[in-house]
């Protein structure tokens, strides 16, 4: 076997290994679609939490009892159309809940990400006196 053929064979095997490792780490195209739909859900939750916090400031530091005064589009999951769940936990804390199609907690590594969530129904707690954490965007994944 000549040197060029050996180099071509090694490069081909290396490319196959890299592609296989990529699918192992990132998952296939279907998994990435699910991750992106969950990111859209997280971004919508973040926007709604910011609106709730703004309302809290406008209402004299009182959380709204329900989401009736918020735009319909802001209260629903943009992917499924299912309304988000809003619950008061205390006069200074509330939850927003949604359903997720993926468990992304392992994607964040050692970073303490406020938006990490398991697959299925999950609730995020918020204190309106604190800034809503930045939601991840598509370019981070």
**pLDDT for position 80:** 93
pLDDT (mean) for 3-13: 77
CB atoms < 10 A from the CB of 21, how many?
10
Question: Is the separation of the CB atoms in 94 and 87 below 8 Å?
Answer: yes
Q: Which of 8-12, 21-25, 44-48 has the highest mean pLDDT?
A: 44-48
The domains of the chain are located at 29-140
Question: Which tens digits make up the pLDDT trace of 64-115?
Answer: 999 999 999 999 999 999 999 999 999 999 999 999 999 887 765 545 688 9
**pLDDT for position 140:** 44
Question: Which tens digits make up the pLDDT trace of 12-30?
Answer: 777 776 766 656 555 667 8
In this prediction the pTM is 0.77
**What Å distances lie between residue 79 and 12, 32, 41, CA to CA?**
40, 15, 7
Q: Which of 3-7, 10-14, 46-50, 112-116 has the highest mean pLDDT?
A: 46-50
């Amino acid at each position: 076997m000549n040197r060029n053929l050996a180099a071509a064979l090694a490069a081909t095997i290396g490319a196959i290994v890299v592609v296989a490792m990529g699918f192992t780490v990132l998952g296939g195209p279907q998994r990435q679609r699910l991750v992106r739909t969950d990111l859209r859900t997280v971004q919508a939750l973040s926007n709604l939490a910011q609106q709730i916090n703004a309302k809290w400031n406008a209402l004299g530091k009182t959380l709204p009892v329900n989401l009736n005064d918020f735009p319909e589009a802001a209260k629903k999951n943009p992917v499924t159309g299912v309304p988000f769940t809003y619950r008061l936990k205390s006069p200074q804390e509330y939850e927003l809940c949604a359903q997720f199609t993926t468990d992304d907690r392992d994607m964040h590594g050692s970073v303490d990400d406020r938006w990490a969530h398991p697959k299925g129904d999950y609730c995020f707690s918020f204190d309106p006196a604190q800034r809503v954490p930045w939601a991840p965007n598509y370019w981070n994944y």
